[in-house]
Structure 1
């Protein structure tokens, strides 16, 4: 009998899910969907790979009710399937968790202790796990960490210039979006095995945004740090900022830590710079000069970080765009690559507008690709292996 695994990515007001058949080398997607609007006007939508889309209002407003809705639909669409494992995206694994882990009460509490380091994500990730434990009591709950892919960085790429005791305590650059980067690293081995062994920068550009420098498919450096606040500006997060400014806001403006956290995590980034929206699509459609400024700042910072990561890699063999903005915004990609010929990055405008897989000119020294993100497949892969499920072979 074929084993099946469910993946969950629980946010503050949503639960994204996917159902997979345990196949090798990649799990086979059967269905996917999401519950959204939890706490307000919840709704459910899903579809199998064969079609049969469904969209409906939902009774109940919390994550437990959302999971019950997911389970009810799965039973309707696949009455014979028994979920053998549930894989969860967990943003922060801290120092202790560098690999997927089956969650028990002790693990859950240790992950709760990390909530202050990822306040926009971690609490909701763990709420999803708790709800899934109640709905699927016999299925192992496998936590898959966004930080795990970046463990093993050298000291210089992991440490802050603080007294050494802080590093020993675990104050270090962790890096995030690791599930996305891990998928891209594996996918690149299928697309171009030679390049996959080289020096690659991946730009994960979405509402959350970061860059990762990889060598031979392993993370070498990342733009994100101790929290998911560092590095590039994001939808509502500020990215790189002078710590002295934070001291000024605390001491001179008498801002409370809670107010400062809200400013940095929820009111800054593209939303704060534009005063319009955190959605890149809305900014690109706007004629407001503040929207143009926000896009210009975003792409400027990406160019700066590409240069820094190329230095960390001691060269560059490929650049990859992924995630919502990276995959779908030809304007952002063009702005990022403008003036980057000195590094060997030359855009093919027509290929870029078509969203081709390769968007650099044929004679470019450094190829540039668009590769679709698939964190769910990575989570499913880890859940299958960690839970020890049976896998059926399939074509790559």
Structure 2
């Protein structure tokens, strides 16, 4: 069974075609600069262990043109990996915000699309683009079942004491203002891998997803009990361009005393803060390079970044009354970085002890990097959100 996974952004389409018999990709790629003068398609195929790359530049006025070209490449006589689009049994869509309406993966119907539209105000940058991806895929792959996998669904098990804010009741009852959480597909995938590795279905796991966007989750017995992002993806950890947690009084000060508009504050906190605001760089590799060279700006920024992660580890250990493993994933979490060492330093009270030699090895799906005999496991597990979306899609249509 072949399943195509699509993550549609406002000007891009990220995709991966997965053979579910092997759970390996047949092809993957990115359509970007949609709607601009010159678009780009970057397409990769994986055949007999060989990776082949194709890059094309041409006007891509809308998502329909981009996805149609993807279908052509997938079935091309020379570079195609399938003979006909009908060989794709399902298209799994990443949908960012499901609100309280979607607690699980769903087959996309007209009713589902209408509900996703209702949720546009909760994710104005993501849900509209996600829905465009669905509507285009329905036309390009009419024989495939369209499946929606929501970023927020995994976090819908969080108890009310953790997801509610201390605002007047009507703000929740009438406006559904609450914590929703994001990166749920990643947290679900790596927590399940960790629980399987630990051999304990009741394990208490803290998952740490560190990419340009970053979040953590507390997972007890496979069930999410808390997460760092809130109603939107701005809260929690320090990120590439997002501030993470701040005192709300800062917003009042900027708008009431310094003349900032609400839009300017939104841009500041979402696009100009985090590592970009602290250092001028959004890529952690640049920040870490300066950190290693002793640049005081980078040293402070990395220490702030790590301190916030450690705060949440302590908070989630308290929420679960213990922790059996912490798990690092995503770009910063998986790759060469001083962050893991620094997070694990001075955490022996929680049984967390880092092993430098083990951290150099990446030869398994789950890599254990704690010292021998450490009470708490420290794991690196590469995330695979596309495979998780494909697996959930397959389970739904079997």
TM-score, structure 2 length as denominator? Answer: 0.90
1:315-334 residue pairs with structure 2 within 5 A?
315-334=322-341
Match of 2:40 in 1: 42
CA contact (8 A) 2:195 2:203 kept: no
* Structure 1 residues 313 and 373, CA gap change in structure 2 (3 angstroms): same
Higher relative contact order (CA 8 A, sep 6+): 1
1:174 alignment partner in structure 2: 180
Give the unaligned 5+ runs of structure 1.
390-396
Pairwise mapping of residues 45-56 of structure 1 onto structure 2 (< 5 A)? Answer: 45-48=43-46, 50-56=49-55
Whole-Å separation in 2 of the counterparts to 1:239 and 1:165: 26
* Structure 1 residue 73 corresponds to structure 2 residue 68: no
Number of the residue aligned with 2:215: 210
* Matched residue, 2:392: 382
Structure 1 partner of 2:132: 127
The aligned counterpart of 1:60 is 59
Task: Please report the TM-score for the alignment, with normalisation by the length of structure 1.
Answer: 0.91
Task: Indicate if the aligned counterparts of 2:181 and 2:231 stay in contact, CA closer than 8 A.
Answer: yes
Give 1:31's aligned residue: 27
Q: Does 1:244 align with 2:249?
A: yes
Distance 1:207 1:124 in 2: 20
Note the C-alpha offset of 1:37: 3.7
Q: Counterpart of 1:151 in 2: which secondary structure?
A: helix
Aligned-partner Cα distance in 2 for 1:215–1:259: 39
With over 3 angstroms needed to count, the CA separation of the structure-2 counterparts of 1:107 and 1:358, relative to structure 1, is same
**In 2, distance between residues paired with 1:273 and 1:321?**
23
Residue 307 of structure 1 and its aligned partner are, at CA, apart by 0.6
Question: Could you report, residue by residue, the CA deviation over 1:155-208 in whole angstroms, capped at 9, with x for unpaired residues?
Answer: 1111111122222232111111110111113222432322x4211100011111
Give yes or no for contact 1:204–1:323 (8 Å, CA) kept in 2.
Answer: yes
Return the offset for 1:63: 2.2
Secondary structure at 1:349 match in 2: coil
Q: 1:52 to 1:302 in 2, by over 3 A?
A: closer
SS in structure 1 at match of 2:206: strand
Matched, 1:227 2:232: yes
Q: In structure 2, the residue corresponding to 1:339 is in which secondary structure? A: coil
| Matching residue of 1:365 | 375
Cα drift, residue 293 of structure 1: 2.1
Indicate conservation of the 8 Å contact 1:8/1:86, yes or no: yes
Aligned-pair CA distance for 1:154: 1.2
Once the two structures are superposed, residues 224-266 of structure 1 have per-residue CA deviations (whole angstroms, 9 ceiling, x without a partner) of 1111111111111111011111122121122222111111111
Separation in 2, partners of 1:80, 1:33: 18
Residue 175 of structure 1 aligns to a residue whose secondary structure is coil
Residue 223 (structure 1) shift: 0.8
Residue 116 of structure 2 aligns to a residue whose secondary structure is: helix
Comparing 38-47 and 72-81, the one that deviates more = 38-47
Paired residue for 1:185? 191
Which of 79, 92, 105 is equivalent to 2:110? 105
Asked if the contact 2:368/2:377 (under 8 Å) is kept, the reply is yes
CA contact (8 A) 2:218 2:226 kept: yes
C-alpha RMSD over aligned residues: 1.9
Q: 226-235 or 285-294: which moved more?
A: 285-294
Superposed displacement of residue 355, structure 1: 4.5
Once the two structures are overlaid, the 10-residue window that deviates more, 283-292 or 254-263, is: 283-292
- How many residue pairs match? The answer is 382
Contact 2:45 2:81 in 1 (8 A): no
User: Who is 1:393 aligned against?
Assistant: none
Kindly state the Cα deviation for residue 129 of structure 1 after the two structures are TM-superposed: 1.7
Tell me which residue corresponds to 1:137: 142
Asked if structure 2 preserves the Cα contact closer than 8 Å seen for 1:184 and 1:371, the reply is yes
Change (3 A) 1:149 1:272: same
Contact 1:44 1:69 in 2 (8 A): no
Preserved contact between residue 330 and residue 353 of structure 1 (Cα < 8 Å): no
